[in-house]
């Protein structure tokens, strides 16, 4: 065994079932476990959104079976306002944490980062395994709150103080429901920190010979940058959650001010700071949404290049843009707090970096779009979702122009305009990134091809469907439709209900389309056409190993990297590309860096 592998190979090939599939140290198994967790979470989150949407369109609709899950929350299957808020909270929490952080970063990153740098595994496989199981327990803790007597917390995924800290007198689910939420998220943070540890050390220390930093594929860069963000963000959210738990169980008063009265009783806590929670939460919360999108940016770039048969106009600029997004993401968080009561001058101070962050985002989009010029674009499920990502990223990003300005935010804060904005960038674009990654990498992970026809059906229904769902949210917000309302009781909201019904119908159809995807995944896993080692004629290291890769990724041999990651448009012995690990010298149009 080569000496440089001594550090990486912490384990031998597993033999027992438990070691192979359950408590596995293999980053590939861990990646698949994360993917399965994200998939389960996404399905639960999606069903929650269906229930929410049906209720918003038809307030008195009875949802069959819901009364079994919660006789108090949905008597006769009709949602009470509190139960709507509880489902909404769980929808947001599950989607943001257990889908959008888990799939693009933890699932694909764990599987492919070590392979893309040429390593046999991550340097700390035991911590890696722990990171998955801690995340799994976190999910379990969160979902268990559904089964509490008064249900899960209703305070939204943002859990503002003092609603999050006072206790059950503020509403159903606000006692133990909040404690479980905070515990779950604190555990999630720990899991992700352990993951970031492995990602960073893998990228910096385990690159194989010839793999300089600039030769890393864009997806690897994206995972590396994301893990740096996670390191900074999750380590701030976790202490905040701990302080809230203490306010609940230990009688402290970090977040609850004095003299508050609920149900005619003065609340015993005193002296706490309401805004402190918002600062701590959004310091995490804004980078979190970039954690959700940056892996998608890397994955989409990676997939587009392979399908354009051409490099991006500048790989280096894309890397700098991802880095700029990461750095700026810490300076903008106050744009969630413009009307929060914080110093209005701070609002201006946060507004400018928020406007400036448009620039790297724009450069990224321009590079993608103008790299298409002169390419030989292949259309398949993966590339369609990648192209769809670009369209969605533009749509979602453009509504950010409005929200970045405090004066306009006066009219748009807490309206469905915000909901439309973040669903387009996260709920759609980031999801498209996950889908693109799945269609692209499924052959490598499972050894079988996915069904292309079903993939295209999935794409078209999802692309058109999500536009039909989320574009109208912006118009509704412009006219003043407030968010987080369980029912539309105000006079000025009545004329908007027909629009909500159309949205609901679009949501249900789009949701059904996702079942096509799930069917495709499962069917292809067992009965898909066997996949060759390099079905896309791609160049990065994951395609130079077997399909699926052996337990130590490269079968005992260490690749040596001779080329930049995206040598397409060349004439080589295999076609119009040369693989990174191939020693073949070729003539290229573009300068290798």
Partner 1 sequence: MATTVHNPPHLDPRRAPGHGNGGGGNLVPADGDGRLALDYSPPPSSTAIWVVLFAISMMFAAFTSALVVRKGSSMDWRTFKLPSILFFNTLVLFASSVTLEVSRRRIASFMGHIQEHIKSPARWLYVTLCLGVLFVVGQYVAWSQLRAEGLYLATNPSSSFFYVLTVTHALHVLGGLGGLVYVIRKLGKASLRRSTLDATARYWHFMDLLWLYLLLLLWVKL
Partner 2 sequence: MGKFFAITILVIAILSAIPIVMHTWEAPTDISTHGHLIDEQMSETMAEAGISFLAAQFLLAFFVWQFSNRGTETKLKSFPGGAKALVIAALLVVGVEVLALGVFGVKAWADVYLTPPSADAMPIQVQAGQFAFYFRYPGPDGKFGPLHPERINEGSQEFFGLDKEHDVDSRDDIVTAEMAVPVNKEIHLLMHAKDVGHSFFVRELRVQQDFVPGLDVSLHFTATKVGRYEIVCTQLCGLGHYNMRAYLDVLSNDDFNEWMKKETAMQ
Of positions 280, 299, 300, 507, contacts partner 1 by CB under 8 A: 280
Which residue, chain included where needed, has tokens 């980078």? 287
- Whether the CB-CB separation of 237 and 188 falls below 8 Å is answered with no
Q: Which one of partner 2, partner 1, none interacts with residue 47, CB within 5 to 8 A by kind?
A: none
**Least distance in Å: CB of 122 to partner 2?**
33
Helix ranges restricted to H, 148-175: none
Rule CB under 8 A: which of 213-272 touch partner 2? 256-262, 264, 266-267, 272
Task: Specify the residue, 32 or 336, whose C-beta has the smaller distance to partner 2.
Answer: 336
Q: Which helix (H) or strand (E) holds 442?
A: helix 431-446
Rule CB under 8 A: which of 282-311 touch partner 2? 308-310
Which residue, chain included where needed, has tokens 């700029």? 324
Rule CB under 8 A: which of 86-145 touch partner 2? none
Of positions 69, 246, 262, 356, contacts partner 1 by CB under 8 A: 246
Task: Specify the residue, 262 or 574, whose C-beta has the smaller distance to partner 2.
Answer: 262
Task: Specify the residue, 235 or 314, whose C-beta has the smaller distance to partner 1.
Answer: 235
Q: Which one of partner 1, partner 2, none interacts with residue 209, CB within 5 to 8 A by kind?
A: partner 1
Residue 550's contacts (CB-CB under 8 Å, 6 or more residues apart) are none
Neighbours of 355 (CB within 10 A): 15
Q: Which one of partner 2, partner 1, none interacts with residue 171, CB within 5 to 8 A by kind?
A: partner 2
Rule CB under 8 A: which of 523-542 touch partner 2? none
Of positions 235, 314, 346, 487, contacts partner 1 by CB under 8 A: 235
Q: What are phi and psi of 538, to 5 degrees?
A: -105, 170
Give the single-character DSSP code of 429. Answer: I
Task: Specify the residue, 158 or 235, whose C-beta has the smaller distance to partner 1.
Answer: 235
**Least distance in Å: CB of 196 to partner 1?**
7
Give the single-character DSSP code of 262. Answer: E
Task: Specify the residue, 324 or 521, whose C-beta has the smaller distance to partner 2.
Answer: 324
Task: Specify the residue, 42 or 95, whose C-beta has the smaller distance to partner 2.
Answer: 95
Q: Which one of partner 1, partner 2, none interacts with residue 118, CB within 5 to 8 A by kind?
A: partner 1
Q: Exposed, middle or buried, 374 (CB in 10 Å: 0-12/13-18/19+)?
A: exposed
Determine if 390 is a binding residue for partner 2 (CB under 8 A).
Answer: yes
Determine if 271 is a binding residue for partner 1 (CB under 8 A).
Answer: yes
- Find the Cα–Cα–Cα–Cα dihedral 166, 168, 172, 177, rounded to 10°: 80
Determine if 425 is a binding residue for partner 2 (CB under 8 A).
Answer: no
Taking the C-alpha atoms of residue 224 and residue 201, their distance in angstroms, rounded to an integer, is: 9
- Among the candidate windows 43-51, 237-245, 333-341, 433-441, which touches partner 1 by CB under 8 A? 237-245
Give the single-character DSSP code of 426. Answer: I
Determine if 7 is a binding residue for partner 1 (CB under 8 A).
Answer: yes
Q: Is 384 helix (H, G, I), strand (E, B) or coil?
A: helix
- Among the candidate windows 268-276, 304-312, 391-399, 445-453, which touches partner 1 by CB under 8 A? 268-276
Determine if 346 is a binding residue for partner 2 (CB under 8 A).
Answer: no
Determine if 571 is a binding residue for partner 1 (CB under 8 A).
Answer: no
As a whole number of angstroms, the longest Cα–Cα distance in the chain is 81
- Find the Cα–Cα–Cα–Cα dihedral 308, 313, 317, 323, rounded to 10°: -10
Residues 64-83, one symbol each (x = binds partner 2 by CB under 8 A, - = not), give ----------------xxx-
Of positions 43, 246, 372, 508, contacts partner 2 by CB under 8 A: 372
- Among the candidate windows 245-253, 319-327, 384-392, 490-498, which touches partner 1 by CB under 8 A? 245-253
Of positions 253, 380, 520, 540, contacts partner 1 by CB under 8 A: 253
Per residue in 13-41, is it b (16+ CB within 10 Å) or e — as a string?
ebeeeebeeeebbbbbbbbbbbbebbbeb
**What angle do helix axes 27-57 and 108-117 make, rounded to 10 degrees?**
150
Render 93-138 in DSSP notation, one character per residue.
HIIIIIITTIIIIIIHHHHHHHHHHT-SS-S-HHHHHHHHHHHHHH
Neighbours of 537 (CB within 10 A): 17
Determine if 562 is a binding residue for partner 1 (CB under 8 A).
Answer: yes
**Least distance in Å: CB of 62 to partner 2?**
19
Number of residues that bind partner 1 (CB under 8 A): 58
Of positions 71, 149, 239, 495, contacts partner 1 by CB under 8 A: 239
Determine if 374 is a binding residue for partner 2 (CB under 8 A).
Answer: yes
- Give the CB-side neighbour count of residue 172, counting CA atoms within 13 A: 20
Helix ranges restricted to H, 480-555: 497-527
Neighbours of 149 (CB within 10 A): 11
Determine if 106 is a binding residue for partner 1 (CB under 8 A).
Answer: no
Rule CB under 8 A: which of 191-230 touch partner 1? 193, 196-197, 200-202, 204-213, 215
Task: Specify the residue, 28 or 207, whose C-beta has the smaller distance to partner 1.
Answer: 207
Q: What separation in angstroms does the CA of 511 have from each of 309, 372, 425?
A: 33, 31, 18
Taking the C-alpha atoms of residue 99 and residue 296, their distance in angstroms, rounded to an integer, is: 13
Neighbours of 133 (CB within 10 A): 15
Binding residues (CB under 8 A) for partner 1: these are: 3-4, 6-7, 118, 123-124, 193, 196-197, 200-202, 204-213, 215, 231-232, 234-236, 238-240, 242-243, 246, 250-254, 257-258, 270-273, 275-276, 279-280, 283, 560-563, 583, 585, 592
């Amino acid at each position: 065994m080569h000496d440089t592998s001594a550090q990486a190979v912490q384990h031998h090939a597993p033999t027992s079932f438990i070691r192979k599939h359950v408590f596995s140290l293999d980053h590939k198994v861990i990646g698949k476990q994360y993917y399965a967790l994200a998939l389960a979470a996404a399905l639960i989150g999606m069903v929650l959104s269906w229930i929410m949407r049906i209720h918003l369109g038809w307030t008195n609709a009875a949802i069959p079976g819901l009364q079994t899950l919660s006789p108090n929350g949905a008597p006769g299957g009709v949602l009470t306002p509190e139960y709507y808020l509880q489902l909404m909270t769980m929808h947001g929490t599950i989607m943001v944490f257990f889908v959008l952080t888990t799939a693009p970063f933890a699932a694909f990153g764990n599987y492919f980062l070590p392979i893309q740098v040429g390593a046999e595994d991550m340097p700390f496989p035991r911590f890696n395994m722990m990171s998955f199981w801690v995340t799994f327990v976190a999910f379990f803790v969160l979902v268990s709150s559904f089964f509490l007597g008064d249900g899960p917390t209703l305070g939204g995924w943002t859990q503002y103080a003092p609603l999050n800290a006072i206790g059950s007198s503020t509403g159903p689910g606000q006692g133990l429901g909040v404690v479980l939420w905070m515990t779950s998220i604190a555990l999630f943070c720990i899991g992700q920190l352990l993951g970031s540890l492995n990602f960073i050390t893998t990228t910096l220390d385990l690159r194989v010979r010839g793999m300089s930093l600039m030769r890393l594929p864009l997806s690897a860069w994206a995972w590396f940058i994301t893990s740096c963000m996670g390191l900074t963000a999750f380590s701030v959210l976790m202490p905040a959650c701990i302080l809230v738990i203490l306010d609940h169980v230990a009688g402290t008063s970090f977040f609850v001010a004095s003299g508050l009265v609920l149900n005619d009783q003065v609340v015993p806590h005193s002296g706490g700071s309401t805004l402190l929670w918002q600062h701590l939460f959004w310091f995490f919360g804004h980078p979190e949404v970039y954690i959700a999108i940056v892996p998608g940016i890397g994955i989409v770039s990676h997939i587009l290049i392979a399908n354009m048969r051409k490099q991006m106009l500048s790989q280096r600029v894309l890397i700098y843009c991802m880095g700029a997004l990461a750095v700026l993401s810490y300076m903008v968080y106050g744009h969630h707090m413009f009307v929060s009561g914080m110093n209005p001058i701070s609002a201006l101070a946060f507004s400018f970096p928020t406007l400036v962050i448009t620039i790297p985002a724009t450069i990224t989009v321009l590079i993608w779009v103008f790299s298409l010029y002169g390419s030989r674009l292949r259309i398949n499920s993966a590339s369609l979702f990648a192209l769809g990502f670009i369209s969605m990223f533009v749509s979602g990003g453009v509504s950010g122009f409005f929200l970045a300005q405090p004066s306009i935010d006066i009219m748009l804060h807490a309206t469905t305009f915000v909901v439309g904005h973040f669903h387009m960038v996260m709920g759609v674009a980031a999801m498209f990134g996950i889908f693109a990654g799945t269609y692209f990498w499924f052959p490598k992970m499972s050894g079988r091809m996915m069904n292309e026809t079903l993939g295209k059906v999935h794409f078209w229904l999802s692309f058109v469907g999500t536009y039909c769902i989320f574009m109208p949210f912006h118009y509704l917000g412009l006219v003043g439709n407030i968010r987080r309302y369980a029912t539309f009781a105000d006079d000025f909201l009545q004329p908007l209900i027909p629009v909500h019904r159309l949205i609901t119908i679009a949501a249900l159809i789009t949701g059904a389309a996702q079942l096509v995807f799930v069917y495709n995944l499962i069917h292809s896993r067992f009965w898909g056409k066997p996949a060759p080692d390099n079905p896309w004629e791609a160049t990065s290291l994951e395609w130079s190993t077997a399909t699926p890769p052996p337990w130590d990724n490269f079968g005992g041999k260490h690749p040596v990297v001779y080329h930049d990651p995206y040598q397409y448009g060349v004439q080589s012995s295999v076609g119009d590309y040369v693989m990174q690990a191939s020693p073949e010298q070729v003539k290229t149009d573009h300068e290798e860096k």
